[in-house]
Chain A
Amino acid sequence: EIVLTQSPATLSVSPGERATLSCRASQSVGTNLAWYQQRPGQAPRLLIYGASARATGVPARFSNSGSGTEFTLTISSLLSEDFGLYYCQQYDSWPLTFGGGTKVEI
């Protein structure tokens, strides 16, 4: 099973600042990695997949870089609606796995 390790566990930022979230895979997943956002009390929402493609309706301030085992989600200028939990997920091999999440808080 591919283990995804997200860091940091909690990221404290101010509105307007840049946020950088990391996801490390225990073995290569190529570019078969997705990022999800989960606001409190809501279902997760797909943000980015294929390592760099934004899902429908996702603003350009969200971007991803990396391939293989190291990935970074960047939120260029945080808005209040961006605070919440962020998960990475690999869909390269079975079982599909999620990272433990990063909480982005004010």
Chain B
Amino acid sequence: EVQLVESGGGLVQPGGSLRLSCAASVFTFSRFAMSWVRQAPGKGLEWVSVISGTGGVTYYADSVKGRFTISRDNSKDTLYLQMDSLRAEDAAIYFCAKSTSIRYPLDSWGQGILVAVSS
């Protein structure tokens, strides 16, 4: 069974930075696109970003463009999300998820990691 385990969350001040990681196992990581999706407390799902299997193609939601950077290290089977200039509205549970391609449904999800933004 596919395993995706997020880490790196926590409390950060507005304007601060945080880097999330998602460790993948039990599948050939480099063959699949990976996404980040977030969910603010008590709210719905919001797609954040996606990266292709090779890492050569990325897309972002407008709400994070220019502040967040998605990347991956296929030698380590790990996905990253570098979050800079954090705002209160970025507070959420962040899920990583895999898909067959960048514009495809998200077929496996991690359990999520909480990011809190507060002074």
Contacts and interface: CB of A to CB of B under 8 A. Distances in A.
Query: Are A and B interaction partners?
Result: yes
B107 A46 contact: yes
A106 interface: no
Given A49-B105, A98-B45, A43 B59 contact: no
Contact of B61 (A42, A92, A95): A95
Contact of B47 (A42, A50, A56, A97): A97
A87 B106 contact: no
Contacts of A89: 45, 47, 105-106
Interface stretch (B11-19, B24-32, B79-87, B109-117): B109-117
Interface of A: 1, 32, 34, 36, 38, 42-46, 49-50, 55-56, 87, 89, 91-92, 94-101
Interface of B: 35, 37, 44-47, 50, 59-62, 95, 103-112
Given A43-B110, A100-B44, 15 more contacts: A34-B105, A36-B45, A38-B45, A43-B109, A44-B45, A44-B106, A49-B104, A49-B107, A50-B105, A55-B107, A56-B107, A89-B106, A95-B59, A95-B60, A101-B45
